[in-house]
Each structure stands twice: as structure tokens, then as C-alpha cells.
Amino acid sequence: MFNTRVKIKELLASEQTGHEVTVMGWIRTFRNNQFIALNDGSTNNNLQVVVELGLLDEATLKRLTTGASIKVIGEVVASLGKGQKVEVKAKTLEVLGDSDAEKYPLQPKKHSLEFLREKAHLRFRTNTFGSVFRLRNSLAFAVHKFFNEKGFVYLNTPIITSSDAEGAGEMFRVTTLPFDNPPRNEDGSVNYTEDFFGKSTNLTVSGQLEGELGAMAFSEIYTFGPTFRAENSNTTRHLAEFWMIEPEMAFNDIEDNMNLAEEFIQYLIRYAMEHNMEDLEFLDARLADEEKSKPVAERSEFGLIEKLKFVVDNQFERITYTEAIQILLDSPAYKKKKFKYDVAWGIDMQSEHERYLVEKHFKKPVIVTGYPAAIKAFYMRLNDNCEEGKQTVAAMDILAPGIGEIVGGSQREERLDKLEKRMNEMHIPLEEMSWYLDTRRFGSVPHAGFGLGFERMVLFVTGMTNIRDVIPFARTPKNCEF
Ligand code: 4AD
Ligand code: MG
């Protein structure tokens, strides 16, 4: 058996000394031909391994370079150095894999995030990305824990689909047809009956519609999987491949939906604070350091942990879209023509508007409800008794400071006649969506759900500012490395 090692996190947490352990990991630094800082990814805190003079020959000592992997058997002893209580005095040391110091891209110094993005295959070995991805892992686990505790059924919705859930038309096509010479119909259009599935298919943009089918039987389900959008948005908030959590609840209205989303977000943050404080403290310090390089006026008022505590301890603000527009119209920013995009009832709020609301006006997460029907998806429930010309739907978006939209959801239109009418108006073919409409034909119930963008949540919790830095391998326009 090879794996007799103890994890460095565990070793550092116990103050026991005098016993023998095996540790394995990658060398971060080697100083004075004597002190190895060893890391195995379980924590950012390196284990100090002491190599006493005479234990290794010259040739082996030369192989102890940054990035090399080693196996050490030694005695745990109290550490005299600052920063750690225990260290390991090596009895035997074996180099598992060499790392050419001249060629290894990660030198023991601070690298820019841009540089590390290009070295994404190695960046997990840095403190920043170690913390980010341990937090991502923890948050993913907390997602399942939250819904499991509530009795939701985890439903895996398909990744390849023939429906366009959002009606957005920004999908990646899935095909096995030769793209340079596909079979064609008489009118010249591509003949998809000859394609793999016998029809045109794409990668899913959302699992919601299939999720609704599950909710109509299990009452409460959630999905957690990858989704794909071919929108050409090269921003710090958009990925072409991102992970989304989509709960769907029968017997729930828009208010139940808001309550669940708020509870869910606070639960995830609390979980991270209970289980990953060490990583949060590291990222907090990192962010504070970064803030120092900004002009005073642009620095954020809160530190990372302070911000997270605030969000957990305070209710989210709840306003209607109409109120949001009024706040924007009354704002100094609007009056001084600071917004690039115009503000009027009916607009699809731009990120500058959303950020004004959360960062300048309310300074906390905000849930906006009652959006104009014209800018929202077909399945959202039409609100009754709307003002003439201002038809709204029971939609809700949650906007978070520093991020903008983090959740999008709605109560669904459960009334068959109203849904069919809306689909017709939006030119959505009823026959193709017959399976979806069946839920409204056979035992329809009021129901609601939402989608939380997982990477945006990880951004919020880690305080990172670019979404490319919170997913292991980012897919963005013109970029699909690794
Ligand atoms: O608002 P969206 O488009 O909503 C839906 O897809 C619904 N079907 C969800 C539902 O009701 N079940 O997307 C939901 C969330 C957004 O609020 C955002 O956090 C995230 O998904 N998101 C993205 N994250 C990263 N990159 C992108 N390109 C994203 N597009 C949406
Ligand atoms: Mg949305």
C-alpha cells in the first residue's frame, strides 16, 4: 500500500508530537538546504519539513526544487519557527517527481491572475486558487446538503436537448452532420432528419423546463449541472459554460420562491464561514491588499468576511421593478447623466443600473419583482390587474453587491389558456412543447423556481472579481484551452 500518508491540514491541526508520519506533497520552497515548505492542497498552510545536514547527498538536495513532489517519513516535533506548532524532521525522503526549476512556471513569488489564467493547469498549486477551489467544493457540497435537508429530489436534467428553455436563441448546436457539406432539403435548408437524433439539437441553456416536469410529481426538485450559452459577452460575469442550481417547487408562489432563494444564499455563506474560515481569511487579506492599490474613492467599504457576515445577518431588500426604475430616475447618477444606457419603464436593466441599486442605493442584496412581461421568458406567470400597457410577470431577480444578477426566477404560468396565448404571441411552437403543456393539462398547480449561477455565487463568497478565476477551466468567447 502506497497511501499511508497523513494530510497536512490534519497534521497541522493536531499538537501531538513524538510519533512517526508519512507525508507527501509538492515543494513550495526549499531554504538554506534544510527547510522544505511542503503543500498537499489540503490547506494553504505549508508543512515545514526539516532535512538535517547529512541526511541526503548533494545530488538529492539539488532535486528539492519548487514544484517537485516528495514523500517524507519522519518524526513530528514541536516547531521552533513562527507560524506553526509542529514540523516534521525527515528520516527518509524520496523524490517522486522532479520539477525543473528553470522551466517550472510558478516561481515562489506573486503572479498576476492574468498570468495564472494562462497556466490554469497549474494554478491550483497557488494559495489564491487553492482557497478559491476549496471554497467552490464546499459550496457545491452545501448546495446538496441544503436541499437534501429540505427533502428536495435531486433530478438530473438532460444536457443535450431539442428545446430552447429561455427562448433566447443563444445555443450551441450539437450535431454529427458534416458541417462543410450537410444533407439539405429541397429548399436548401439543412436536413436534420439525417442528424444523429433525427432533429436539430443543442446544449441546454437551463434545466428548468424538465425540472418543472419533476416538480409536478415529486413536489420539490433541484438540478445542479452545467449549462451552456453561446452569448458573445466577454465580461467578468459571463461564461459560455457555467453551472447552475435550479430548484423547482410545486405549491409555491413568488413570495415562497423569494423566501427560499434568500434562505438558500444565506445558508451557503454560513456553511462556508463555518467550514472554510482559513481560506476566507486568506482571501480577505488578499482582497484588502488589492484594495490598497486602488484610489480611496473606489475602495469597498467592507472587507470580505465583514460583507459575508452582513449578508447573513440582514434581510435582503425587496422592491418591484417599477420602484427600481423610479429610484434610478430619481438618482443623482441619472440626473448627472452618469448612466450610459437610458432609464425608462420597460427597459431591460443594464448592469450599471443593477449595480447602482445594490452598491450605491441599498448597499445590500436586492430582490426585484414584477418585471415587464415583454422582456421576460414565456413561462413566467402574468400578473393580474396590471396598469394599461404595463403588463408585468411574477419574475424575481436577486442582485448582489459587486456581482449584479446572481439569481433569476419566477412563479410559472400554470393556467393553460394564458400560457398557450403567450406562447403563440412569442412564436413558440405549441406542438413541439406538448410535453411541457401536459403538466398544465393534467393536474396543474401553482409553482415556482429559480436559477442560481454557481460561479457568480462563488465570486461573491471568494471576493474574486473575474468569473474566469472561480471555475477550473473557463470557456469564454475565443477561449477554450485545456
Ligand atoms: O436568469 P437566467 O437566464 O434564468 C434561467 O435560466 C431560468 N431558467 C432559471 C430558473 O428559473 N430555473 O439564469 C439564471 C442565473 C443568472 O441569474 C446568473 O446568475 C446565471 O444563471 N447566469 C450566468 N452565469 C455565468 N455565465 C453566464 N453566461 C450566465 N447566464 C446566466
Ligand atoms: Mg436572468
Supply 321's cell numbers: 421593478
Measured between alpha carbons, how far is 152 from 167 in angstroms, rounded to an integer?
A: 27
| Whether residue 295 has pLDDT greater than 90 | no
Angle at 54 between CA 50 and CA 58, to 5 degrees: 95
pLDDT computed for residue 168 by the predictor: 61
- Only one residue has cell 460575469, namely 237
pLDDT (average), residues 417-442:
95
| Whether residue 169 has pLDDT greater than 70 | no
Measured between alpha carbons, how far is 66 from 79 in angstroms, rounded to an integer?
A: 22
| Ligand 2 center from residue 7 Cα (angstroms) | 42
The residue contributing the CA closest to ligand 1 atom 5 is 451
pLDDT (average), residues 133-151:
98
pLDDT (average), residues 377-393:
95
Residues shown for the chain: 482
CB 220 within 8 A of CB 248: yes
Where residue 97 falls among pLDDT bands split at 50, 70, 90? very high
| Ligand 1 center from residue 61 Cα (angstroms) | 52
Q: Is 468 in the pocket of ligand 1 (CB under 6 A)?
A: no
The residue contributing the CA closest to ligand 1 atom 4 is 408
Burial (Cβ within 10 Å: 0-12, 13-18, ≥19) of residue 100: exposed
| Ligand 2 center from residue 90 Cα (angstroms) | 55
Which ligand 1 atom is nearest residue 456's CA? Answer: 19
User: Could you tell me the pTM of the whole model?
Assistant: 0.96
pLDDT (average), residues 94-109:
94
pLDDT computed for residue 167 by the predictor: 66
Q: In the chain, what is the straight-line distance between the N-terminal and C-terminal CA atoms, in Å? A: 32
CA 337 to chain CA centroid, Å, is 33
Q: Is 406 in the pocket of ligand 1 (CB under 6 A)?
A: yes
pLDDT (average), residues 428-450:
96
Measured between alpha carbons, how far is 469 from 133 in angstroms, rounded to an integer?
A: 9
List domains and CATH numbers for the chain. Answer: 2-108 (2.40.50.140), 125-169+205-469 (3.30.930.10)
Pocket test for ligand 1, best of 166, 456, 476 (most atoms within 8 A of CB): 456
Q: Is 238 in the pocket of ligand 1 (CB under 6 A)?
A: yes
Cβ count near 13 (within 10 Å): 12
| Ligand 2 center from residue 452 Cα (angstroms) | 10
- Only one residue has cell 434562505, namely 263
The residue contributing the CA closest to ligand 1 atom 30 is 238
- What is the identity of the amino acid at 232? N
Pocket test for ligand 1, best of 164, 257, 405 (most atoms within 8 A of CB): 405
Where residue 4 falls among pLDDT bands split at 50, 70, 90? very high
